[in-house]
Amino acid sequence: MDFRNSAQDSGFTAEVRAFFESHVTPEITARVDQDGTLHDAGLHEAIAARRWIGAAWPADVGGLGMDAAEFSAFWEIAQYCRAPIDGQLVTEMVGLTIARLGTEELKQAILPRVISGEVLISLGYTEPDSGSDVAAAKTTAVPVDGGYLINGAKMFTTLAHVADYVFLLARTDPTVSKHRGLTMFLVPTDVEGFEVRAVDTFGGERTNATFYDNVFVPDRLRVGAENDGWAVVMTALDVERASIRGYVGQARRLLDDLLEALQEDPGRLESSATRHALSAVNTKIEAAAALADRVFCIIAKGEIPNTEAAMFKLFVTDVFKDLSHLALDLVGPAALLTGADGSAPVSGHLEHSFRHAQIATIYGGSNEIQRNIIAGRALRLPVA
């Protein structure tokens, strides 16, 4: 198996790096740090103008048909440059799911607007009482003439306050097993009965709680067949893997931030223990990049890398978290200063990365879930 990343040293990589270095301005970074919204309308518009939204989608649904491994450099560089591109990431994931499972009417209504940057979509999976058990959704969708009435609540609907739709999982049949009675919808955020409330997080990101009070959704905004919502969720998780390399970018940036902070006290870099610790974590980051390459090799063969993607996600986010702790150990109390303190090393990014790294182990399925996947599918052990 070839683990080499086809994006390395390509013209596309250089173009993307130059783009983000010029477009991620101090003003954007300051605004994100202040309000926690990982989306910027101007940046999103500029990305769309380059045709980089949906660039790795097949041409028959409006994409450029770029190789997924090559385009993955986009996500790594964006995260390295601290670009607020979560809106693009989630919207592309949902868009490609619609391309695979949506009706022709829905594809024509949504996909061109996704590619042009006109539409943002947030995820409505988790509920206040169900945590990581997405299939335990209690939000209901009752069939009515021409569509459905939705009632319930969702938690962690990040970006719902700026999104046009929520990709919502609702229960349409309470009489069958929890995985079988679910249906997926695109719920407009401008309809009567929809409410969004801000929720601040430990990682500094703004997320939301959203509420649905007799929200009417027409049939044309259902994604997939009625009661087949779990298959839609699995498809969405499948296409999400295209952006996994972003975690590598976050880890590389934190390591570079740590090295910059240590330059303020060069004596620390002369310590053999420090140099060994830094070398070890750099090796782990390169190993994480190789695990990501393996995922793309499997995708290129037309296979679904469930176990391999779980291994990558578990490994890279654990490395990121461990590196955030190492930064605190090596820099000391100053690493806990926020960007609001003018004396904070590297403008407070060490402190922010420490908070964000803990949450990264939860995003995209908690690391406990990833261990269960690896245990069951790779090691053939009983699943907890």
| DSSP labels, 57-94 | S-GGGT-----HHHHHHHHHHHHHTT--BHHHHHHHHH
What distance in Å separates the CA atoms of residue 78 and residue 286, rounded to the nearest whole number?
A: 18
Asked which of 208, 235, 262 is the last residue of a domain, the reply is: 235
Which among 28-32, 169-173, 241-245, 362-366 has the top mean pLDDT?
169-173
- Say yes or no: 59 and 164 in one domain: no
Question: Hey, CA dihedral for 44, 194, 178, 181, is it positive or negative?
Answer: negative
Contacts of 351 (CB under 8 A, 6+ apart): 335, 336, 337, 338, 339, 344
Q: Model confidence over 234-243: pLDDT tens digits? A: 888 878 777 8
What distance in Å separates the CA atoms of residue 196 and residue 189, rounded to the nearest whole number?
A: 9
**CATH code (residue 164):** 2.40.110.10
- Say yes or no: 267 and 374 in one domain: yes
Could you tell me if residue 225 is inside a domain? yes
Could you tell me if residue 5 is inside a domain? no
- Say yes or no: 258 and 374 in one domain: yes
Could you tell me if residue 137 is inside a domain? yes
**CATH code (residue 284):** 1.20.140.10
- Say yes or no: 250 and 229 in one domain: no
Residue 5 pLDDT more than 60? Answer: no
Could you tell me if residue 289 is inside a domain? yes
Query: Which structural domain, as residue segments, surrounds residue 140?
Result: 122-235
Asked which of 67, 91, 119 is the last residue of a domain, the reply is: 119
* Strand, helix or coil for residue 158: coil
Asked which of 69, 85, 119 is the last residue of a domain, the reply is: 119
- Say yes or no: 113 and 129 in one domain: no
- Say yes or no: 327 and 345 in one domain: yes
Q: How many domains does the chain have?
A: 3
Could you tell me if residue 288 is inside a domain? yes
Q: Determine if residue 337 is left, alpha or beta; phi over 0 gives left, psi from -120 to 50 gives alpha, anything else beta.
A: beta
Q: Measured at the alpha carbon of residue 246, what is the angle toward residues 245 and 250, in degrees to the nearest 5?
A: 125
- Say yes or no: 256 and 374 in one domain: yes
What distance in Å separates the CA atoms of residue 372 and residue 249, rounded to the nearest whole number?
A: 26
- Say yes or no: 126 and 112 in one domain: no
Could you tell me if residue 384 is inside a domain? no
Contacts of 67 (CB under 8 A, 6+ apart): 6, 56, 300
- Say yes or no: 222 and 161 in one domain: yes
Contacts of 124 (CB under 8 A, 6+ apart): 139, 154, 157, 160, 166, 167, 168, 169, 187, 210
Structure tokens that stand for 105 in this block? 């009417």
- Say yes or no: 102 and 42 in one domain: yes
Could you tell me if residue 171 is inside a domain? yes
- Model pLDDT, residue 74: 95
- Model pLDDT, residue 249: 96
- Say yes or no: 258 and 327 in one domain: yes
- Say yes or no: 127 and 106 in one domain: no
Contacts of 53 (CB under 8 A, 6+ apart): 44, 47, 88, 91, 92, 114, 115, 116, 117
- Model pLDDT, residue 259: 96
Q: Model confidence over 148-190: pLDDT tens digits? A: 999 999 999 999 999 999 999 999 999 999 999 999 999 999 9
**CATH code (residue 101):** 1.10.540.10
Q: Confirm if 357 and 202 have CB atoms less than 8 A apart.
A: no
Could you tell me if residue 4 is inside a domain? no
Helices of type H across 191-305? 229-240, 246-262, 266-269, 272-300
Q: Model confidence over 303-321: pLDDT tens digits? A: 888 889 889 999 999 999 9
- Position 13 confidence tier, pLDDT thresholds 50, 70, 90: very high
